[in-house]
Amino acid sequence: MANSSLLGGENNPMASKQKKLELIEKTWGDCERCDLATGRKQVVFGKGNFESKLAIIGEAPGAQEDEEGKPFVGSSGVRFDELCEEAGLEPWDSYICNVIGCRPPNNRPPSDEEIEVCFGRITSLLGVMKPKALLLLGGTALRAMTGLSKITTYQGKELQASITWQGQVLTFAAVATFHPSYLLRNRGDKELENKVIRDIRLAHGLSKGSSWVEGD
């Protein structure tokens, strides 16, 4: 007899992206793979348009995100939304999520172990969504998705990020930019803000170009 979770499953080419997203959220929603599960209120997934071609990836939920169950709803998210508007990126042009789904205590950066344990979640999200481009917000997202470190070296450059999903290597165009909380700490630094606006535009443009599957 057909199993309804398989019918809507991540592997089923007939299931809609929305159904597959729901399945990923169900699979990871009660995750206890690491100790962050004990301090979180809920696992935070994404917001925006999962059918779009641009995935924006931050670091980890903060207090407000943990409370509301949505990424980038706190003060750094508000600032980032303003810059997206200045860059001409509409809310339906992207889907925004984080490298890890649970809030670390005192908003400390996630450890390498926590990132590794949660990597299957972001891999599933990106594997199903199949964006053409990623915009990586800050050093943690840059390192997790590309293996590169030092945001100041790679900010604004056209990069590539690869994941292995269901045995296939998926490669995306990627752009790294400064994390919105860094922008908040440097509020009024026009040069910095203009760099971020340019990076948002670059990633948006790349999302309208092409992506490819290595080895095809």
Contacting positions for ligand URA (CB under 6 A): 58-62, 65, 71-72, 74, 76-77, 98, 181
- What does the block give as tokens for 59? 């670091």
What is the Cα–Cα distance from 73 to 162, expressed in whole angstroms?
28
The residue among 131 and 138 lying less far from ligand URA, judged by its C-beta, is 138
CA-to-CA separations, 175 to 91, 155, 203, in angstroms, rounded: 18, 7, 6
Nearest of 212, 180, 202, 209 to residue 60 by alpha carbon:
180
What is the Cα–Cα distance from 55 to 125, expressed in whole angstroms?
10
Least gap, CB of 60 to ligand URA (angstroms)? 6
The residue among 64 and 171 lying less far from ligand URA, judged by its C-beta, is 64
Least gap, CB of 214 to ligand URA (angstroms)? 28
The residue among 15 and 135 lying less far from ligand URA, judged by its C-beta, is 135
The residue among 15 and 134 lying less far from ligand URA, judged by its C-beta, is 134
Least gap, CB of 82 to ligand URA (angstroms)? 15
The residue among 21 and 56 lying less far from ligand URA, judged by its C-beta, is 56
CA-to-CA separations, 206 to 11, 77, 101, 158, 160, in angstroms, rounded: 27, 22, 26, 9, 11
Residue nearest to ligand URA (CB): 58
Least gap, CB of 97 to ligand URA (angstroms)? 8
CB 167 within 8 A of CB 213: no
Least gap, CB of 1 to ligand URA (angstroms)? 41
